[in-house]
Structure 1
Amino acid sequence: MTSTTYAARMRFHVDGWDPTYGSSVENAENSIGDSTAKVTPNIELAPADWKPISPSHVPDPGAVLFVDGVRRVEARIWIEQPPSTINGAPNATMALCASYAAGTVCCCPGQGAHLLTTESRRGLFTTAPNAVDVPTTAGTYQANITPDDQEENLAVLLSTALQRRLGDLEILAAANARTALTGHGVAEGSDLLVVDGPLRGCTHLPRALGLIKSHRTAYLPPDLHAMIATLAANERSPVFLMGTSWDRHAWYLRLPCTPGAPWAGVVRLECPADIPTAEAIALANLSQLVMPRYASCEYKDTRAPQNLVPVAGLERELRRRLGNPVLLSRALRVAAAS
């Protein structure tokens, strides 16, 4: 079969393993590197004066908009490639078929928490240059071709490509949220947008916060990092500036929770770096009012209290909208056989 024929009609085979348990062919796992963030701690207080900051009296926002996304791999497939020019042997490249979705929950007076916007997609993620869209009875998996990187684990490379597309969809959901808020009786400029995860890509949006639930790296100097463990419920750290591949204001906040590990219930919040310091501090004060209200309970959520109640509800609804994974896997197998 010629390369032209391969480009016109993509052949693939579905891996028999449940994607939940990885692939039947695994490569080495990716490791997490040390932080190279540049931190400027003297934004709100001088480092020598750092101490836990108690909540202050601030006005309630007109509405709180929570943005989040979910992803699910339905199948790992193998895309046939043109035979090797060296020995004519057949060749195949692993790829992912996945569904992903993003949306917004609105919490505003008189309506409680309700779904505001949703966006969903299906995608084929691969490095195969001959990849094309995969139509199935359950929808079309749009081809997303990622440049191959011989130094990167293929599974990690494809997972990163999927995460990048999900991030783009979350940015779209965040941008559309305020348009969808029209007609809710919320005064213009009074809402607060909370993105579940880093604020990267959304820093252009006004009154926006990023909420990071887990901590893999100690960004602060040791003495300031140790202070975070002394925070009481609803207390926060002073605001500081941090820069990695992008800059932002940040602070730590402890949500109400059962006493336990030193960092139990601690989240990191982010807002844009290019806003005035006074505005960043005002957002930090506002976060102390808003976030504890929506903290989850241990008996309801295994990620309590950091996985906020509206976010958990949004995740459940988005997963439901992804469709039945058994039916989707079957649809892919039928498409492969045809």
Structure 2
Amino acid sequence: MSAPTGMRWRVESWDPGYGASSEDPAELSRSTAQVDLDVEIAASSWRPIGPRPAETDSWPAVLFVDGVRRIDAMAWISDEDQGQDGGTASMALCASYAAGVVRCQPGGAQLVAAEVRRGLFSTASHATDVLTSAGSYQRVQLTGRGEPAADLSLAVQRALGDVEAEVAAAARSGEETDRDLLVVDGPLRGRQHLPRVLGFIKTHRSEYLPPALHRMVGGLTAGQRTPVFGLGTSWQRYSWYLKLPGGEGAPWAGVARVECPADLPVAQAVELAERSAPELCRYASTEYKDARAPQNLYPIAGLERELRRRLGDQALLYRAIRRASDKS
């Protein structure tokens, strides 16, 4: 009997603790978004587009924006007319969140803006700020709609998005920044009004392109991108896929999706795609330094670490919240 043929397999560099950088390309849910494939190139002529040299007309500075969030404690706020142990109660989250901007330019990188906030997110109309020995959690009231846990988590994410937009605008105020590029970690929604801005999406959950073009994305080589296409869901933007250097394993390993505002002229959107590709590839992380390589770009990874440090010690904050609760 002949020996069985050994299987061929490869391990994706992305740390499984973060999930997968992409679902199985054959299993991605088909998006209902409106897609315009004829923006840069006619759909019938789509092909991988190679990178221009990084040295040509690069930006003097690239600003990276990111934010982090953490739930410090879950709480229940009793109804106003009930005692602590009687009646019904509303779920609440004590959350810390922070956003910042790092500027990268020849000579190094510098943190140019950072903001830390803490909030008590609840649907209870009589909720108040929570004052603790380790910090104050400002009341953020929501309108209950159905699933409390999901609504509260979404509210924290929206609050984080607002802070990200604020720090991004602050990082550009009072500076001659008409020649820089701003890269937001994640979708652009809520930040598309900012000038020269890109959204950088690391993970993939939906299939936007027709099957043949979808397969083409998996065949991109380092530095290549797809043509720019229009993407419309509840909001409009231009988008394209970019293959970063170093991605191995899964067919879409190392592939990021990039967005820019839909109100740009097509020529400007294409120029952003062409000029940004070598810039983003330059900052791609490597497996031995980052568990989410290569999509977790070095400036974003460093910014995340600094922001998490500024959130403070979670155990200390939790104890402070418990003491404040015991006194209420």
TM-score computed with the length of structure 1 as normaliser: 0.84
> What RMSD in Å do the two structures reach over aligned CA positions?
1.7
Q: Distance between the aligned counterparts of 1:289 and 1:216, measured in 2?
A: 25
Q: Distance between the aligned counterparts of 1:93 and 1:259, measured in 2?
A: 46
Q: Name the % identity.
A: 56
Q: Distance between the aligned counterparts of 2:245 and 2:231, measured in 1?
A: 26
Question: What is the aligned partner in structure 2 of residue 71 from structure 1?
Answer: 69
Alpha-carbon offset, residue 225 of structure 1:
1.2
Count of aligned residue pairs for this structure pair:
296
Paired residue type of 1:267:
A
Q: Distance between the aligned counterparts of 1:82 and 1:173, measured in 2?
A: 37
Q: Distance between the aligned counterparts of 1:235 and 1:268, measured in 2?
A: 12
Answer with 99-108 or 170-179: which moved more: 170-179
Alpha-carbon offset, residue 114 of structure 1:
1.4
Alpha-carbon offset, residue 83 of structure 1:
5.3
- Residue 123, structure 1, aligned to residue 112, structure 2: no
For 1:130-209, what aligned pairs fall within 5 Å after superposition?
130-150=126-146, 153-179=147-173, 182=175, 188-209=177-198
Alpha-carbon offset, residue 82 of structure 1:
3.8
Q: Distance between the aligned counterparts of 1:311 and 1:89, measured in 2?
A: 47
Alpha-carbon offset, residue 323 of structure 1:
0.8
Paired residue type of 1:300:
K
Question: What is the aligned partner in structure 1 of residue 31 from structure 2?
Answer: 35
TM-score computed with the length of structure 2 as normaliser: 0.87
Alpha-carbon offset, residue 102 of structure 1:
0.2
Question: What is the aligned partner in structure 1 of residue 15 from structure 2?
Answer: none
Secondary structure of 2:240's counterpart equals strand
Alpha-carbon offset, residue 248 of structure 1:
0.5
Q: Distance between the aligned counterparts of 1:258 and 1:36, measured in 2?
A: 28
Q: Distance between the aligned counterparts of 2:297 and 2:309, measured in 1?
A: 19
Residues 83 and 91 in structure 1, CA contact (< 8 A), matched pair in contact too? no
Identify the match of residue 99 of structure 1 among 93, 96, 99.
96
Structure 2 gaps of 5+ residues are 1-27
* Runs of 4+, deviation exceeding 3 Å: none
CA displacement 1:257-313 (0-9 Å, x = unmatched): 143211000000000101111111110011211011111111111111000000000
Question: What is the aligned partner in structure 1 of residue 57 from structure 2?
Answer: 59
Paired residue type of 2:297:
L
Structure 1 gaps of 5+ residues are 1-31
Q: Distance between the aligned counterparts of 1:188 and 1:68, measured in 2?
A: 19
Residues 82 and 90 in structure 1, CA contact (< 8 A), matched pair in contact too? no
Secondary structure of 1:195's counterpart equals strand
For 1:177-256, what aligned pairs fall within 5 Å after superposition?
177-179=171-173, 182=175, 188-256=177-245
Q: Distance between the aligned counterparts of 2:171 and 2:209, measured in 1?
A: 33
Paired residue type of 1:238:
P
Alpha-carbon offset, residue 126 of structure 1:
1.0
Secondary structure of 1:158's counterpart equals helix
Q: Distance between the aligned counterparts of 1:159 and 1:102, measured in 2?
A: 17
Secondary structure of 2:206's counterpart equals coil
Structure scoring higher RCO (CA < 8 A, sep ≥ 6) equals 2
- Residue 337, structure 1, aligned to residue 326, structure 2: yes
For 1:301-316, what aligned pairs fall within 5 Å after superposition?
301-316=290-305
Q: Distance between the aligned counterparts of 2:312 and 2:42, measured in 1?
A: 51
Question: What is the aligned partner in structure 1 of residue 13 from structure 2?
Answer: none
- Residue 320, structure 1, aligned to residue 309, structure 2: yes
